[in-house]
Amino acid sequence: MAAGRAFAAPRPAPESAHSGSVDVAIVGAGAAGIAAARRVAAAGKHFVLLEAANESGGRCVTDTTSFGVPYDRGAHWIYSADINPLARLATRSGLDLYPAPPGQRVRIGKRYAREGEMEDFLAGLVRVNTAIADVARKSDVACSQALPKDLGEWRSSIEFASGPYPFGKDLAELSTVDMARAAERDNSVFCRQGFGALLAKLGAGLPLQAATPVTRIGWGRPMVEVETARGVFSARTVIVTASTGVLNAGKIKFGPDLPRRHLDAIAKLKLGSHDHVALELAGNPLDLRADELVFEKSESRQTGVLFANVSGSALCTIDVGGTFGRDLSAKGEAAMIDFAVGWLGGLYGADMKKAVKRKHATRWNEEPWVLGATSAAAPGAQSARKILMEPLNNRVFFAGEAAHETLWGTVGGAWESGERAAAAALNVVGGGRR
């Protein structure tokens, strides 16, 4: 089916059974699972939507209690709004979308970069992207091997802005081909009510069974057995949208075991690390506009990026990622907040600590049903995405951001992957009514 096609969500269902026979079992209720469920429901098929966590959304969840304003704990940017199906669905749902402001600023010590310095930084980013694309035409090696040798004093900042910030991994861990094939992520918009709020609205009315982890998928027979702690479903087809973090951890057993090529593909698509440290800074002490992005001219990997005054509120986030972000997250929320406050103080003055009110840090690596951020492919492993999309016995289909070759790491990519997997499953069980 055409990417981005919208299907109406079904009416709210009565209490779902915890076992029985279904046409399609959908494992995971993130973007891919919700997209698949809407497509299957629109076809009039009998299905079950199983989610291990207490709520839907996966890595796209909006929290409105911590700060009293919408706070996206995971994904926030709606990329390529002109072609992103979620942007169209948001408009139809009555939610408020508005364009992300263009560009970014760079802080050098306690001042902003001058025009010539900004040109050097931006030119360095372009040169890095061009170099990676050039190398990718010949071989799939680590992005770090493709870097120009003369980035000079901007090297650390450019490396952070090219790898850990957007993709959650250092450039030494990233495939040149995966980076080169990633679709442009510009023309972005934000949802004023939160990206997670949009996803929750699109999933409203689906017969979700939350807090129901799938423990085993038996796919060796014509009917697939999906085992949970509450019961067993017998399904004609199954769509698995669990993250590669969960699959790598073996939290879902398969019988027979997954083929070696699938296991290898999942291992090569390990999740990177990307977290938000959210701080409430009342009164706009940084004197920044809404949704302004500020990088630092850093001398090491111990850096972050500031996203100020989210949707015009007093909420600011400092994002950390890659190896440094993973190590910092492992030390706990207090250590992450200490770093963020200290980092802000180094750029805007020690008084910043007094301006901080409420605070919170995400730790996606510790979320038991996620275990990381996005699935940037390891060097030499871009083909793993296509392998992951291969069905098992034409009965089990994988979906999610990892199962998209150009929009990996995005909610839009997960959504399209879920719709594609649903179309494949319906081709097996019969398309039914629209």
Q: Where are the domains of the chain?
A: 20-62+193-270+376-429, 101-187+272-366
Task: Express each pLDDT in 162-220 by its tens digit.
Answer: 999 999 999 999 999 999 999 888 899 999 999 999 999 999 999 999 999 999 999 99
R_g (Cα) of the chain, nearest Å? 22
- The DSSP output letter for 307 is E
Task: Express each pLDDT in 102-120 by its tens digit.
Answer: 999 999 999 999 999 999 9
Count of beta carbons in the 10 Å neighbourhood of residue 381: 20
| Residue 53, both tokens | 């966590």
Task: Express each pLDDT in 344-373 by its tens digit.
Answer: 999 999 888 899 999 999 999 999 999 999
- The DSSP output letter for 250 is T
- CA gap 152, 158 in Å, rounded: 10
Phi, psi at 401, each rounded to 5°: -60, -30
Matching CATH number, 101-187+272-366, of 3.90.660.10, 3.60.40.10, 3.90.1140.10, 3.40.47.10: 3.90.660.10
Residue 419 makes CB contacts below 8 A (sequence gap 6+) with: 1, 3, 5, 35, 36, 39, 85
- CA gap 333, 114 in Å, rounded: 34
Q: Which residues of the chain have pLDDT under 50?
A: 1-14, 433-434
pLDDT of residue 15: 53
Half-sphere exposure in the Cβ direction for 361 (13 Å, CA): 26
CATH of domain 20-62+193-270+376-429: 3.50.50.60
Residue for token pair 């986030």 = 317
Asked if residue 142 lies in contact with residue 171, where contact means CB atoms within 8 angstroms, the answer is yes
